[in-house]
Amino acid sequence: MDCPDDSTFAAYLEGALTGTAVAGFEAHLDGCDACREALAALARVAVPPGPDEPESAAPRLRARGSTCGRYLVLDVRGAGGMGVVHTAYDPELDRKVALKLVRPQAFGGAAHLRERLTREARVLARISHPNVVPIYDVGEADGEVFIAMELVPGPTLARWQTEQPRPWRAIVDMYLQAARGLAHAHAAGVVHRDFKPGNALVGPDGRVRVVDFGLAVAGEAGPVEPPGRAASASLTATGALVGTPAYMAPEQWRGAAVDARSDQYSFCAALWEALAGAPYRLPDTTWRGPPAPEPAPAAGGGRAFPRWLRQVLLRGLADEPAARFPTMAALIDACERGLHRRRGTLLAGLGAVLAVVLAIFWTRGDPAPPQLCRDDPSRLAGVWDGEAARALRQGFHASNLPFAATVAATTVAALDAWAGRWHGERRAACEATRVYGHQTEAELARRTACLDERRAALRERVRLLQTGERDVVEAAVAIAHDLPEPAACRDPTALAPAGEGDDDDARRGRAEVDRAAALVQAGRFAAAEAGAEAAGATARVRGWPGLAAAAQRVVGEARQGLADAARAEEAWYQSLWAAEAARDDRAATRAWIGVAALLADDLARPDEARRAVAHARAAAARAGDDPLLGAELELAAALADRSSGDFHGANARLREAVAALTRHAEPADPRLLTALRQYGRSFFDLGQHEAAVVEYRRALALAEQHLGTDHPAVADLANNLGTTLLDLRDVAGAEAELRRALAIDLRVHGPLHLSTAAAFANLANFELVRGDFARAEQAYRATLQIYTRQPQPHPDAAKVAYNFSMLLINSQRAAEALTQLQWALQVQRETLGDDHPDTGAYLTGIGIAYTELGRPAEAVAPLEQAVALFERRPRDARYLAAARNELARALWDGGGDKARARSLAEQAAATFRETTESERMLREVETWLAAHPLPPRG
C-alpha cells in the first residue's frame, strides 16, 4: 500500500475508516516508520471539540439542482475527511466550476475558516499560470465555506501515470509541466508545501494543472505550523497534516523553515516514484552530490531511465535544502538540457564498437519515436527553403540600398531560426499524440491546423520580402521577427476558436490580416488599414471574435502610423472587446498594451494609460508566462510613467524590459533595439546624459551589426546620440552624429521624407544651441517645407514651428514668431486636439510673443489657458512652472492682479527648485521676484 494521503489519516483519527480500510491502513503503519511518526504527531496535537460542537460533522453532500451561493450543484466529484467536491454551474459567468465545500467544524468554526480561506485566496490570486488551477471565488453558504475553482475534467497525474504503460520521457514531460507551475508560484512568493501526483490534474488538452495550494505560504519562508486544526484549514487539503508523508521534505518533518526547495524535494520524490515504481527512501547519510550506489528501479513496477536524470532527481532529494538546486527553474533547466542533449555527445571519444553497445544500452526501454513524427523538410518546400532564400537575397540586392546585404543576412538567419522552431513544434505535436499519448487526436488536429496557419503567414511574409521593394527591405528584419511564434500553438487559446478554423473565408481573413501586419512594419499604413478593415468586417458579420481582434489590432497600428490617434484609439478598443469575446487573454493583453502606449505617447492621457497598463497586467497574468510579451508590457508601462512625468519609474520599467529582452530575444530582434533606445531616452529625461550615451551607443552597435551602418534605424539612433552629446557640450561629437543621420536619411529616403524632416529639425536645434542662427533658420525652414508637402498635417510640424519661433524671439523678431506659433497651435488642434498637453506649450509661446511685442494684456488670455491646461493635464512640472512664470510677468506688466502675479512666480520658483536642470530658470524667476516687490499697504 502506498503512503495514504492526509484525508485517510484524519479519517482514521476520527474513526471514520471501517472494515478493510482500517486493516489496510494499520498494516501499512506496521511497515512504514514515516507514517507511524506522522500519526503520532497528529495524535499529540488533536484538539477535542468545543462544548457546542458535535463530535463529528461529516461532509454534507448537496443534491443535484440545489444551490450553494450563486452556484448550481450538478454532481459529486469526490469526498474526503474534511470536504466534498462538486461539479457546479456558475450562471453569472456561464461556466462549470469545481466547487469544494469544507467542513468548518474541523477548523474552529466557519468564521475562522472563512477568514483563513479568504486570506489564502488572495495569495492564490497572485498565481496565474497555465499549469496552475485558478481559484475563482471563496464564500459561505448555509454554514459551510466553499471554494470555486477551474473544473478540470481529467485524471490526476497519479492516475494518468498508472492507467497504461508510459515511456519515461512522457512522464518527465508531464511532470515538467507541473514544475513550471510550481516555479511560477515560487516567483510569486508562494510555496505549495504538499505537492504530490494526486495534486496535479491532467486536462483533456494534455495540460497539467497543479491544485491544492491550500497549504501555501506567501512571503518569507518560516517554520511549519504545528499540524493542528488551524494549520490544516486550507483551500483544498482534506486532512490535518501539513504535507503528505511520502513526499514531505526532511525539513518539514523536523519542523524547520520551509521554502521553495521543499517543493523541489516533493516534486523529485513524486517523479522518482513515477519512474522507479517505488517511493524514494532517503539514505541515512546526508546527500553530498550523486551517491556512488544509486538505488535501482523497482523490479516489475519501474522503468529504465537515464543516469543523468537520476542524478538530477537525487540532487533535488538531498537531505539539506542547500544541497538541492537553487530554484525550481534551475531544476527544470537541468532536465531540459538532459532531454535535448544529443546522444552522440555521450559517446564522444569512444571506439565505434563501444559506441554501438552504449547506444543500445541507452535506448533500452526508450524506443525512438516512430518515423511518422520525424522532421520533414518538404513541409516548408516552396515556402522557405534554399531557393526562397536565394530569391530574397536577389530582391534585396536589386533594391540598391546600401544596407541591403546586411539586412538580407539578418533576415535569412531569422527566417531559418523560425523555420527550425516550426519543424520542432510540428514534431512535438505529433509525438504528444502518437508517441506519448497525452494529447487527443482532436487536439493534434487543432495544433496542426494552427501550425499550418503559421506556415501560411510565413509564405505571405516571404512573398512580400522577395519583392525587394525599398520600404520592405528597410523593414525586413522587423517583418521577419513579427511572424507569429509556432510555440504559441501549444496553447489552446492560440488556436482558432470553433467555427473560425475550418472555414475558407476565415483562412483568407487571417492571411489578409497577417499581410496587413507586415505592411504596417513596412510603413504602408493606408494599405494595411484597408486590408485589415476588410478582414475585420467579414469577421464581425460572421461572428468570429478571434479574427476581429487580430484585424482591429492591425487597424489600430496602421492608424497610429498615419498619426490619426483618435481613430486609432477606437480600433484598439474594438480589438480589446473582440479579444474578450473570444476569451483570448493573450490577444487582450496585446490590445491593452496598444491602448496604453497610444494613451501615453500620442494622446498624453497618462492616468488612463496607467489604468490600461493595470488591465494589461491582469490579462497577462491570465495568459501565463511569456517573457517577451511581459517586456512589451513594461515598455508600455514606461511610456505611461514618462507621460506622467515619473522619469524614475520609466527608467526602472525599461531596465526590466531590456533585461528580459536580452535574456529571451534574439540580438537582432527589433524589440530589443526599441527598448535600448527608450532606455537611453529615460536617462536623458533624468538628466543622466552620460548613461544615456552608453545605452545609445549600445543600441547603435546592435543596429550597425544587424542592419548595416547606413540603415535608417542607425540614423534615428545617431540623432538621439547627437542630441545627448550636445547637452554634454560635446559640440564636435554632436555635429558628427547629427550630420551622419541627415546623410543617411537623404541617401535612403530623399529630401521630402518625414525621417529627413526629423534629421533637419535636430540639426536646426544644434545650430540654435551653437548660436549660428542663420544656419538654424535655414534648417528649420527646410524642415517645415517637408511637413507642408505632406498630404495631411503632422503633429511634429507644430513642434518644429515652436522651436523656430524661439529662434525668432531671440532674434528680436517677435511678430514672425507669433505667426509661427499660431500656425503651430492650429496644426496641434487639427492633429491631437485642444486638450493635449502640448497645446499648453504653444499657448505659452504665444503669450511670450505678445509680451515681447509689448502687448502684455493680450498675453494674459493664452497664458491663463496654458496654466489651466497644464493643471488639468499634468505632465512635466516644468511646463506648468514656465507658464505660471510668464503669466506672472504678463499680469504685472499688463496692469493685472500683482499679488496673484507674485504668487504665480513663487509657485514657479518652488517647482524649479525641485526639478533637475532648472537652475537658469530658477535664477530668472528669483531675480524677477526680487525686482518686483508688492507695494506696502496703506
Catalytic residues: 194
Q: Is 255 exposed, middle or buried (0-12, 13-18, 19+ CB in 10 A)?
A: middle
Radius of gyration of the chain (CA): 34
Give the number of residues written for the chain.
938
Q: Which three cell numbers stand for residue 120?
A: 489564502
DSSP assignment of 574-600:
HHHHHHHHTT-HHHHHHHHHHHHHIII
What whole-number distance in Å separates Cα of residue 737 and Cα of residue 693? Answer: 12
Give the position of cell 492516475. 159
- Distance of CA 170 to CAs 176, 336, 426, 435, 830, Å? 10, 13, 17, 8, 61
Q: Which three cell numbers stand for residue 789?
A: 508637402
What whole-number distance in Å separates Cα of residue 13 and Cα of residue 314? Answer: 34
Nearest to 200 by CA among 152, 245, 165: 152
Supply the DSSP symbol for 93.
T
What whole-number distance in Å separates Cα of residue 649 and Cα of residue 642? Answer: 8
DSSP assignment of 271-329:
HHHHHHSS-----SSPP-SS-SSPPPPPTTT-----HHHHHHHHHHT-SSGGGS-SSHH
- Distance of CA 57 to CAs 12, 53, 84, 87, 406, Å? 15, 9, 12, 22, 75
CA 211 distance to own-chain centroid = 24
Task: Please give the angle made by the CA atoms of 885, 886 and 892, to the nearest 5 degrees.
Answer: 95
> Beta-carbon neighbour count of residue 90 at 10 Å?
18
Supply the DSSP symbol for 86.
E
What whole-number distance in Å separates Cα of residue 825 and Cα of residue 818? Answer: 10
The answer to whether 271 and 317 are in contact (CB under 8 A) is no
What whole-number distance in Å separates Cα of residue 891 and Cα of residue 904? Answer: 10
Within 310-469, strands assigned E span none
What whole-number distance in Å separates Cα of residue 335 and Cα of residue 322? Answer: 19
Specify the 3-state DSSP secondary structure of 99.
strand
The answer to whether 645 and 877 are in contact (CB under 8 A) is yes
Nearest to 410 by CA among 166, 670, 139: 670
For residue 144, what are the contacts with CB-CB under 8 A and spacing of at least 6? 60, 68, 101, 102, 103, 104, 110
DSSP assignment of 513-536:
HHHHHHHHHTT-HHHHHHHHHHHH
Residue type, 165: P
